[in-house]
Structures are given as C-alpha cells and as structure tokens.
C-alpha cells in the first residue's frame, strides 16, 4: 500500500474519533448562556430587525448571527439542530489543519497536529458551541490552505486558489474580529513572498476581500464604539500565556509529559530539509504570538478582551510549530504515536477534564430540570417558592422543550436583586413548605436558610448552584461538607488564634455574647490563617452574628478582611441595616468564596472577622458562627483545573 493511502486511512481514523468525541450523546448537549442569547436574537420577522436588534447589540460581526437567523427558520431551534453545523466546522478544521501541516512540513507533523486537535477539550468544546469560534477556525484554516497553494504550489491552477482565498478571507472577517485580524496578518505575511508573476493577483485579492467586507464596515464602527465585550473581563496577568498553555493541555502532567517527549523525539528524528521548511516554522510561531501580543497589549492599554477563545484561530499553528522538526516517519511510528495521542487526550478529556459531566450541564437548562425534580419531590408546585436567575425568554424556550412550566420569580442579574433587607422580608413572608433557588448570591442563600433550614436538593455545575430548602425536617436531608467550624472543638484548639478574654472566647466559640460599648469603633477580631481553614476547592466562608442595638441610629458592619503582609486581599462587609427585621435584634450574614488561586498566591494570608461599629453605639453580639464549607468544585471547571 502506498504512503499516501496509509496517511489517508490514518486521517480517516482520526476524523472518526473526532466525530465520536463531538457527537457523544449529541441530542443532550445543552446550550450555554451565550448560545441561548444568540438563539433568542434570531426571532425577528425581517432582516433589518435582525441587524438592528440582534447584531448591533452584540460585539461580534454579523456572520454567525445571520447564518443562525436563516438556519433556525429552515430547520428549527432545537439545541442539536443549531449545533450541528459547528460540529461539522470542527471536523473540517482538523482536516484542513492536517493538509496545511503536511504541505508545510510532512504528513507526520500533520497527523500529530490533527491527533491533538481531535482530543483536546479546547477543540472539542468549541466544536460543540454555536458561536463564532470554531466556524472562524474553519474559515481561517481554509483561507491559509488556499493562500498556501496560491503562493507556494507552482503546479496548481492559481485561479481556484485565488477565489478560495478571497472568499474564505471575507468569511473570516464576517465571523469574528480576531479572525479578521488573523486574515489581515496572513495577507501581510504574503507580501514577503511575492514575485513578478503573482504580485498583481495577490494585491487584487486583498482589494477583493476588503470590497466584500465593505457592507459590514458600518456595523464594525458601531461595535467598535461599544468598547469591547461588555466589560466583564479583567486585565490579563503577566503569566496569562502560561495559563493558556496549561489550559489547552488539560492542566495534566500526563499531557505535558507527552508533549515534551514528542518534542525531544523530534530533536532526534529531525527532518533533513529543515532549511526548506524554516519559513513555515517562523510563520507558524509568528502568527500565534502576534495574535496573542496584539490582544494582550490591547487588553492592558485599551479594554480587556483577551480570553482563551481569542487564540483559537491560530492555535493549530502553535501545534504545528511544536512538532515541526519531525521528519516523515514510517507507518508503524505514525500508527503508534497517533494511538498514544488519541488515547491520552481522550482519556484526559473524559476523566481529568470530566468534559461529559461538566460541559453537559449548563446553568439555565439545569435549573429548569432541577426545579422539575424538586417540584415532583414536593408533590405540588404550590408548596414551593421558586426564585431563579432565568430570563423569561429562555424559560419559555425550555418550557416548550419539556412541555411543562411553573411559576417562578426571576431576577435579571445581580444588579436587579432586591437588597438583603427586602429579600429578608420576602423570605419571611413565605408560607410555602419549600424554597427553590438557583444562582442566587451566597448571602441570599444564607438568608433563605434562616427560614428554610433543611436542604432537600442540591446540584452544582459550571457557573451555577441550585438548592431546594425545606421548613420541615425529614429523614433524607442533604448536608454541606464542613471544612472548618468555630463551634468544633478540634478547630477551636488548633486553628483559632489564642484568645485570653474568657467572655470573648465563649463568643467566638459560638457559646456566649459579647458587648461592644460606645467607646469602641471596632470589636475584637477573630483571627485565623486562611490555609488552616480552607481546603482550596472554591470553599465558601459563611459568617453569622446576631447584633442587638437599642439605638435606631446604630449602623454596624460585619467585616470579612483577608490580608497578607499588611495588604488587603479581599475586604467585604454586610450592613446591619440591610438585615433589620426586628427592632432590637437581627442576624447579619456574610458569605465569601475563596478560590484555590487565592490560597496558592497568598499562603500566609490571615482572615480577620470583626464588627465595625461605625456610629459608636452600644452593641450586644451573640450567636456568632464562622463556618467554611466545600463549594462548587465545577463552578469554573471548563476553564480551570479540576
């Protein structure tokens, strides 16, 4: 059998594995919030309404939104229907990445690149999302393939590659602004390789791509004035690129080791024509890092927009660069290394990244189905108060999907929530047996637990937490796993700093009361080392204290102050007035999540908990509780180590 046939068979095997990983339980792949947002912006009666109300409100080019508009009209808005084209784009991206790597270097580099693209979560997940990422990757790969053949394949028919380059370059521009940036980078790179036979056609191709983009220029400037992607991203840290590399390789020492071993083997099994392929090696690494540097500098100097998806359009070239020294190996080596890469990345995807557990549970659909479960457990929806972060249009989508609805109270993001005092009063007015909630702030969950102390249902996943609480105790209650408690004797003896005052000790151990007189602005603080009370998996610190103040002008704060080396790391507070229900005595709560990153960055940090008596009134403090519980391990699990 000829070498080309061997390579084709191996590539087909890779694509079959890629299809299985992306289509696994395909009908059950949920829609992410961004996908649902895009889907909700397809329900217009005219193209002009789509542009004005579905595209201009977003910061992405019109391409994918326009495609979805017509796709949904033709085939419906079921999740698996809208995702299907993007699955196909993902598979085709692997195919063209292989073709480019084979042309630039050899089939061994192509097969290694395609194998990694098959099993890495970065590629699998974005292939399962109907957003302008994997489609932009496909258009980018197609553009580079046509660009390569036009400039570097002397025996080909130039006109078809010219047309392909123009159309795919324009599609990049209509898909994503960073795909547009990459298309411009590729176009500028080509200027270095012009000669008297191709320069006119190449420059004309650039003009043609721009001409095709002209209808979108007005939208581009409208979106540019919006200044980024909503302001929710923070400025990237100096080590961001290291974090990105760790992420794409699954935060896995197994995958790190495999990559390093392959690079070392490539140094031994070097290609004999390194000088001939050097230009492509330089192009690959420059394309990747230029995209990163531009996004990084813009995020620092202008507006934060750098995120992992920003580099998806150039990621295959990073892989090509890593393994570009390989010479074309024999068929046995190709089969062996392909099987090793596919097995390692697929197993890591399933067992280390838990992709089919974490990604397949998305917040909006999950809070709906979890609510159904809790209502069935209660026996009647009238027995339940239901408060969810669930936009009405999205709720209607899932009520239609499951042919079942329920009444609930929606809040449209944290900014629209009632203040804690209003929420306190609302919870206290409820006469239902059960309180169902999803994605409420941590403090509000503690408020619910004062009136509904028993946890009946709990579900946690990527960016969401769901609970069902009950007023009545039963035999099948759920309990949070406690990491630390001020009331637990062992924790008192080993983790709480020594307290000499006996009254203060009883108070901080949750067994007594303590008086802060009008001469003191601050109560004594409970001091604990963070690493003594936090296990590092997004633990939640829940603090409660009952404050009695006879003077109505009293305005104390319950303070959470985490610091290191005399610098504050996290400072948070709850106002007494926000928890006033009774005239004299009210319980103030405060909850704070501690990430594993915080624990690692500040291993010697100290937590101080105290009451700030701002108005210097006499206060009676009692029923103090400081409890650390295990938090949601998957809350950022798609982008952090698990």
pLDDT of residue 59: 85
State the DSSP string of 104-123.
HT-HHHHHHHHHHHHH-HHH
- Residue matched to tokens 């690494």: 285
Nearest to 354 by CA among 272, 252, 273: 252
pLDDT of residue 600: 84
| Low-confidence residues in the chain, pLDDT < 70 | 1-3, 226-232, 412-417
pLDDT of residue 1: 47
Report the b/e string of 479-492 with b at 16+ CB within 10 A: eeeebbbbeeeebb
Decide: residue 184, CB within 10 A, 0-12 exposed, 13-18 middle, 19+ buried. Answer: middle
pLDDT of residue 2: 58
d(CA 524, CA 612): 10
Token code pair at residue 436 = 């169902």
Q: What separation in angstroms does the CA of 185 have from each of 271, 307, 315, 357, 496?
A: 28, 19, 14, 38, 58
Name the DSSP class of 639. Answer: T
pLDDT of residue 639: 94
Phi, psi angle pair for 584, to nearest 5°: -110, -35
d(CA 105, CA 274): 9
Please state the separation of Cα 618 from the chain's center in Å. 47
Nearest to 382 by CA among 450, 427, 433, 429: 433
pLDDT of residue 425: 87
Residues 122, 145, 220: CA angle, nearest 5 degrees: 70
State the DSSP string of 501-530.
-HHHHHHHTTSS-EEE-TT-SB---EEEEH
Q: What is the Cα gyration radius of the chain?
A: 29
The answer to whether 539 touches 615, Cβ cutoff 8 Å, is no
Three-state SS at 62: coil
Name the DSSP class of 496. Answer: B
pLDDT of residue 412: 62
The answer to whether 149 touches 47, Cβ cutoff 8 Å, is no
d(CA 508, CA 487): 8
Report the b/e string of 373-384 with b at 16+ CB within 10 A: ebbebbeebeeb
Residues 6+ apart with CB under 8 A from 405: 395, 399
């Amino acid at each position: 059998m000829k070498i080309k046939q061997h390579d084709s068979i191996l590539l087909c095997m890779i694509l079959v594995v890629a299809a299985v990983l992306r289509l696994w339980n395909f009908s059950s792949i949920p829609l992410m919030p961004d996908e649902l947002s895009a889907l909700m912006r397809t329900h217009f009666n005219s193209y002009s309404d789509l542009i004005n109300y579905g595209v201009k409100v977003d910061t992405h080019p019109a391409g994918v939104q326009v495609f979805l508009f017509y796709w949904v009209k033709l085939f419906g808005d079921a999740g698996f229907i809208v995702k299907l084209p993007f699955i196909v784009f993902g598979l085709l991206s692997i195919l063209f990445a292989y073709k480019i790597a084979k042309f630039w270097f050899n089939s061994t580099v192509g097969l290694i690149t395609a194998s990694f693209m098959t099993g890495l979560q970065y590629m699998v997940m974005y292939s399962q999302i109907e957003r302008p990422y994997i489609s932009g990757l496909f258009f980018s790969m197609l553009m580079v393939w046509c660009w390569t053949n036009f400039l570097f394949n002397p025996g080909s028919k130039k006109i078809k590659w010219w047309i392909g380059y123009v159309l795919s370059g324009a599609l990049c521009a209509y898909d994503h602004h960073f795909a547009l940036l990459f298309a411009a980078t590729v176009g500028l790179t080509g200027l270095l390789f012009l000669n008297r036979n191709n320069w006119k056609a190449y420059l004309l191709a650039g003009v043609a791509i721009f001409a095709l983009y002209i209808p979108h220029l007005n939208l581009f400037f409208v979106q540019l004035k919006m200044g980024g992607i909503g302001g929710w991203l923070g400025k990237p840290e100096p080590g961001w690129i290291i974090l990105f590399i760790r992420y794409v390789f699954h935060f896995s020492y197994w995958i790190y080791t495999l990559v390093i071993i392959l690079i070392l083997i490539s140094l031994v099994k070097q290609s004999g024509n390194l000088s001939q392929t050097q230009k492509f090696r330089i192009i690959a690494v420059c394309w990747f890092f230029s995209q990163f540097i531009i996004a990084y500098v813009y995020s620092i100097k202008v507006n934060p927009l750098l995120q992992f998806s920003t580099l998806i359009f150039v990621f295959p070239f990073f892989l090509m660069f890593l393994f570009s020294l390989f010479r074309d190996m024999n068929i046995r080596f190709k089969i062996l290394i392909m099987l090793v890469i596919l097995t390692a990345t697929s197993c890591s995807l399933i067992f280390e990244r838990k992709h089919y557990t974490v990604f397949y549970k998305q917040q909006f659909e999950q809070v709906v189905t979890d609510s159904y479960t809790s209502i069935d457990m209660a026996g009647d929806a009238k027995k339940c108060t239901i408060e969810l972060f669930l936009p009405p249009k999205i709720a209607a989508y899932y009520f239609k999907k499951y042919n079942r609805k329920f009444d609930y109270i929606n809040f449209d993001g944290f900014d629209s929530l009632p203040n804690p005092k209003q929420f306190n009063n609302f919870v206290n007015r409820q006469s239902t047996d059960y309180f169902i909630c999803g994605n409420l702030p941590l403090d509000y969950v503690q408020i619910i637990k004062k009136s509904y102390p028993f946890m009946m249902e709990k579900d946690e996943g990527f960016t969401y937490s769901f609970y069902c609480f009950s007023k009545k105790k039963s035999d099948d209650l759920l309990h949070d796993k406690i990491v630390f408690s001020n009331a637990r004797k062992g924790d008192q003896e080993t983790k709480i700093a020594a307290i000499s005052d006996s009254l203060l000790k009883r108070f901080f151990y949750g067994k007594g009361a303590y008086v802060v007189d009008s001469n003191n602005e601050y109560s004594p603080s409970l001091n604990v080392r963070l690493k003594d009370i936090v296990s590092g998996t997004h633990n939640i610190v829940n603090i409660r204290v009952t404050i009695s103040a006879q003077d109505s002008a009293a305005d104390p704060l319950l303070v959470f102050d985490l610091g290191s080396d005399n610098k504050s790391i996290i400072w948070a507070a709850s106002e007494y007035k926000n928890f006033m229900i009774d005239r004299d005595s009210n319980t103030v709560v405060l909850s704070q999540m501690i990430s594993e990153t915080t624990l690692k960055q500040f291993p010697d940090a100290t937590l101080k908990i105290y009451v700030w008596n701002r108005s210097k009134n006499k206060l009676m403090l009692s029923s103090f509780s400081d409890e650390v519980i295990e938090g949601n391990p998957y809350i950022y699990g798609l982008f952090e180590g698990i």
